[in-house]
Amino acid sequence: MSTSHLPATTDSIAQALEAKNPSESISIFYRILESPSSSPESLRIKEQSITNLSDLLRQENRAEELRSLLTQLRPFFALIPKAKTAKIVRGIIDAVAKIPGTSDLQISLCKEMVQWTRAEKRTFLRQRVEARLAALLMESKEYSEALNLLSGLIKEVRRLDDKLLLVDIDLLESKLHFSLRNLPKAKAALTAARTAANAIYVPPAQQGTIDLQSGILHAEEKDYKTGYSYFFEAFEAFNALEDPRAVFSLKYMLLCKIMVSQADDVAGIISSKAGLRYVGPELDAMKAVADAHSKRSLKLFETALRDFKAQLEEDPIVHRHLSSLYDTLLEQNLCRLIEPFSRVEIAHIADLIELPIDHVEKKLSQMILDKKFAGTLDQGAGCLVIFDDPKTDAIYPATLETISNVGKVVDSLYVRSAKIMA
């Protein structure tokens, strides 16, 4: 970076944009920012230079330079309105976020900015940076620290009645509680976010995020039909904005269809006009699961899980539901296989279902305890003994009903005799 400054003019910006390589452009923008002029026009040119410089540094993956730029600009922030300062700070933090592998840097950068905003008494900016910091801590699985930060922030924002920020924070709190498996608190926070959102205009992207979270919570409660409706709303919002989250909304829509045993609809949704835009590994994974479910094939199911591990196993929401779907499929297949037998070797069942013997034995014992069928495991002989379903004797319910009716008659006679005696 050269020590000689350039005047903050449109000609200087044009010179930077026409430079032969990004490094030269970056050097010129730094020299424009060093200009001592503080006239309104100079300040406007410097703001434009900061935007261009942060874009170039992001393209060059120079995250540390973006961090030092934010520190270097602090004297400049004293010369411009607070709203413009907030826009520049958030823009630079967003630029750092677009560089892969910078999670720790983003957290430390946000913590630095929180300290600076406290010292400068810039409450509006501090609250937004703290909300961003809480989101980053949640992504890094620092749940307790994120929760402590949010609890204080929510009280402060509610007191100021900043509805738009409140929607963001309540939504973040809902996601945080969901990650901690605290479903009641996640639902309560989402309800608070919806209440705040109803009082103001919410951008479509934010509304889509609310619908996506609603769908996730409904799916978690096994209400897949309602979950599908919310995922569809989120998909429409994200699709219109060309937001990358659209493919995840569509993926969860397909998951809901599979979970309510409507796997045949999956191919139709994927081949629709909207679905064809997002054809790729995410949708291929769900199609493979739907095919396995339609054919009730555990082997195909396990093949899909193995082939699309990143899309199925590593997505916590899909993984959780597919685990229960796998258990259901396994139970259905085992019940179908043991139905003709009264006594059968466990090894034979394992061969038929093409799964390890210990895995099958464990599942059968669990099904017996859950009373999915009547039977016992003879581990000495390595056999499963299936009992006939015990037929309930109708005499006992009939006897209880007779005794109940006699009791009513006696009570009625007692009431009548009491009236006669009176």
Distance of alpha carbon 219 from alpha carbon 336, whole angstroms = 28
Can you give the pLDDT at residue 342? 84
CA-to-CA separations, 25 to 6, 31, 129, 181, 268, in angstroms, rounded = 13, 10, 29, 49, 50
Closest CA to 89 of 47, 60, 56, 119: 47
Structure confidence by residue, pLDDT tens digits, 235-278: 999 999 988 899 999 999 999 998 888 888 888 888 888 888 88
Q: How many CB atoms lie within 10 A of CB 278?
A: 18
Can you give the pLDDT at residue 393? 67
Closest CA to 220 of 246, 170, 183, 175: 183
Residue 386: strand pairing partners: 375
Can you give the pLDDT at residue 193? 92
Check if the beta carbon of residue 301 is closer than 8 Å to that of residue 289. yes
Coil, strand or helix at 20:
coil
Distance of alpha carbon 229 from alpha carbon 217, whole angstroms = 12
Would you give the DSSP letter of residue 388? P
- Answer yes or no: is pLDDT of 218 > 80: yes
Residue 375: strand pairing partners: 386
Can you give the pLDDT at residue 1? 43
Structure confidence by residue, pLDDT tens digits, 30-74: 888 888 888 888 888 888 989 988 998 898 888 899 889 888 888
CA–centroid distance for 299 within its chain: 29
Structure confidence by residue, pLDDT tens digits, 355-410: 888 888 888 888 888 888 888 888 888 888 888 766 666 778 888 889 999 999 99
Check if the beta carbon of residue 172 is closer than 8 Å to that of residue 133. no
Query: DSSP states of 240-281 as a string?
Result: HHT-TTHHHHHHHHHHHHHHTT-THHHHHHHTSHHHHTT-SH
Which residue is associated with the tokens 């026409």? 18
Check if the beta carbon of residue 154 is closer than 8 Å to that of residue 170. yes
Q: Is the dihedral of CA 36, 41, 47, 48 positive or negative?
A: negative
Q: What is the largest CA-CA distance in the chain?
A: 118
Distance of alpha carbon 304 from alpha carbon 98, whole angstroms = 31
- Those residues with Cβ within 8 angstroms of residue 167's Cβ, 6 or more apart along the chain or in another chain: 193, 196, 197, 200, 202, 206, 210
Would you give the DSSP letter of residue 387? P
CA–centroid distance for 383 within its chain: 44
Q: Which two tokens mark 392?
A: 């309930």
- The C-alpha angle with vertex 198 and arms to 193 and 201, in degrees rounded to 5, equals 105
Structure confidence by residue, pLDDT tens digits, 120-151: 888 888 999 999 999 999 988 888 899 899 98
Would you give the DSSP letter of residue 62? -
Distance of alpha carbon 261 from alpha carbon 250, whole angstroms = 17
